[in-house]
Structure 1
């Protein structure tokens, strides 16, 4: 997903956060006076398996990875919206949970899967896997199952990387790093999760 040592195939949407390519990694930097900023794929995706490595510098930071998401419209002018796999290095430790950006809010908080809260490490690269096949979205952090959601909303959309708005909690200038980004769209075989993993099913309406 990094072509010709450039950000070809990606575009920035939303706020004024910064994205740059450094040593093979996409680096996002938060800035003051900005809403959430996203580097999104120019192409939309339906069914896919996304794997990448993510590092975030500070516990006073936040990020996420958008899946099957969209931009703008009458209800979301100037903003990216859709399902996001949360990157949360705070004491809450909800990395791997699923949040519906600018729309329905939390769909799968990690209160539903407490053991997964310990899978992510701040200040180091962590392996992330996101599977979106049919109406199911599953996430893994460092090969630990984190979230399992069944939701009929959005069958296609953009994949995006978030730089969170700087504010009272997030300090401006903090960075998040994304590398080894791989998106597979053919020959997909859903990975099974343990029967012990709680499943959230929003039903045919997409409402909780």
Structure 2
């Protein structure tokens, strides 16, 4: 009789402890600590892929400047990321310049004397509100990965991006869902299983868009680039 009573009491206790063990780790690892991707002093942790634009540290920012006739250039993190929250500030010095930030991106196989193959993957758009078709905050499939991933009917022109000022971006990527905010205003809530299947994780890349031979030079700057895993 005593043996049976002991068993009856201990089983719920075991289940309770097991439940606590399962729940606590998920609460602790839901969001990791923020990691700074830019130390404000150097380009340590970054490597340029594609193009001949210049990237330099200027007054605690990363400043990218176009090079005449260059294709798209990308300054990319060595590290790769899957599900994350990304935060950064960006300033377009010249409203004529189109830019973006690559997420979960990769490079194709290098050809010829290329150091790196073509950068490809989802890109968060950066574009002046005064441009003819402002589409900042929407997601583009760079490097032959589908063109605009946000459908045309969902790409409503807006003025959340402040021309001539620093703009705060927040990007959350969880599975096939990508959300983007600009200066606190939600711009994109995209669910795209195809791009997630091909690009579930990858590097972060700062784009300086290519220009023709008779344009520029134009510049764009980033600062306070931080990320945390989800």
1:130 and 2:171 correspond? yes
Q: Distance in 2 between matches of 1:27 and 1:4?
A: 11
SS in 2 for 1:118: coil
Confirm or deny: 8 A CA contact 1:94 1:110 kept in the other structure: no
Confirm or deny: 8 A CA contact 1:96 1:141 kept in the other structure: yes
1:66 and 2:108 correspond? no
Q: Distance in 1 between matches of 2:162 and 2:46?
A: 27
Deviations 1:77-107 (A, max 9, x none): 7311000001121221100011000121001
Distance 1:22-1:133 versus aligned 2 partners, 3 A rule = same
- How far did 1:110 drift? 6.8
Distance 1:48-1:167 versus aligned 2 partners, 3 A rule = same
SS in 2 for 1:108: coil
Confirm or deny: 8 A CA contact 1:30 1:171 kept in the other structure: no
2:61 to 3, 18, 25: 25
1:40 and 2:85 correspond? no
- How far did 1:66 drift? 0.2
Measured on the aligned residues, the alpha-carbon RMSD in Å equals 2.1
- In the alignment, what sits opposite 1:3? 39
Give the 4+ runs in structure 1 shifted more than 6 A.
none
Report the count of equivalent residues.
Answer: 184
5+ residue gaps in structure 2? 1-36
- Higher strand proportion (structure 1 or 2): 1
2:133 to 86, 92, 107: 92
- In the alignment, what sits opposite 2:120? 81
State the TM-score, normalized to the length of structure 1.
0.82
1:161 and 2:203 correspond? no
SS in 2 for 1:138: strand
Q: Distance in 2 between matches of 1:109 and 1:63?
A: 19
SS in 2 for 1:54: strand
Distance 1:109-1:177 versus aligned 2 partners, 3 A rule = farther
- In the alignment, what sits opposite 1:172? 216
1:107 and 2:149 correspond? yes
- How far did 1:113 drift? 4.9
- In the alignment, what sits opposite 1:118? 159
Q: Distance in 2 between matches of 1:100 and 1:118?
A: 22
- How far did 1:136 drift? 0.8
- How far did 1:175 drift? 0.5
- How far did 1:59 drift? 2.2
- Higher helix proportion (structure 1 or 2): 2
Larger Rg: 2
- How far did 1:111 drift? 4.6
